[in-house]
Amino acid sequence: MNLIERKIRDGAFAIGYNLTDQTDDAAVRDLIGRLRPVHCGKNLIRIGGDADGGYLLPNDFDGVEYCFSPGVGAMADFESHLATLNIKSFLADHSVNSPPIAKPEFTFDKKFLGAIDSETSFTLKSWRDKYLAANIHDLLLEMDIEGSEYEVILSTPSDTLTDFRVMVIEFHSLDKIFDPFAYAVIETCFEKILRHFHVAHIHPNNCCGSVRRRGIEVPRIMEFTFYNKNRVRKTKYREDFPHILDRDNTSRKRPLHLPKCWYS
């Protein structure tokens, strides 16, 4: 970095902006290629409502008894739908005192999900082990925790992650993939998941739009559905985007479909 570049960066930083180098296009395209969704032999069905809080999952629920669902919002359509399938849900969020509705299938903890155990937070492993014996597997995870998903995934032992048959995770700040420091965190997080899971579906949240650079478009927030590889015999790439069951998260913003660079 030369003197002029340093002065520009220091000046921008002084007024609240951070100028950084950018991730190489090849690295971004490589990660996007590894995240290309595949058909895993099971059709996708929609669990939850027809807007925010509804997700597409492989239709493979036989033997699934429990879901872990951190991040409690104003509705519990997803967990209520699971209850009709005889699947119990563990919910957690320190920012609220209870779920929006009470059901016998719901168990609530007033804690955040994070990377450490404390008075206000616990790890995914600690939460799972609090309620279930070690020999119980084939769980569901539905996680929308406003950016803390990265620390949770990176701090969770792989043998805890593989207890889940399906994981639905909303990833935030994906536009930061163009920042080399953030790219390293995001790439490591996804690589850890991809060791044991296929990407079965991706749905952009249309609340916050996307960023574009030289033919690469990245929605800022996207919902990923991961399917445990031990449930899959063969795969083929998906190109049915938007899926017929996809719905906009909010009607107040323009529709946002998965950009073609993510699946073709």
According to the model, what pLDDT value does residue 14 have?
82
177-234: per-residue pLDDT in tens?
A: 999 999 999 999 999 999 999 999 999 999 999 999 999 999 999 999 999 999 999 9
Task: Provide the pLDDT for residue 34.
Answer: 98
pLDDT value at residue 1: 61
pLDDT recorded at residue 43? 97
Plot region of 126 (φ>0 → left; ψ -120 to 50 → alpha; else → beta): alpha
Domain coordinates in residue numbering, the chain: 23-262
Fold of 23-262: Rossmann fold (3.40.50)
pTM over 0.85: yes
Q: Please give the Cα distance from 4 to 72 (Å, whole number).
A: 48
- The reported pLDDT for the residue numbered 73 is 82
Phi, psi (5° rounding) for residue 125?
-65, -45
Mean residue pLDDT across the chain: 95
**Residues of the chain under the 50 pLDDT cut:** none
72-98 burial, b if ≥16 CB within 10 A, otherwise e? Answer: beebbbbbbbbbeeebbbbbbbbeeee
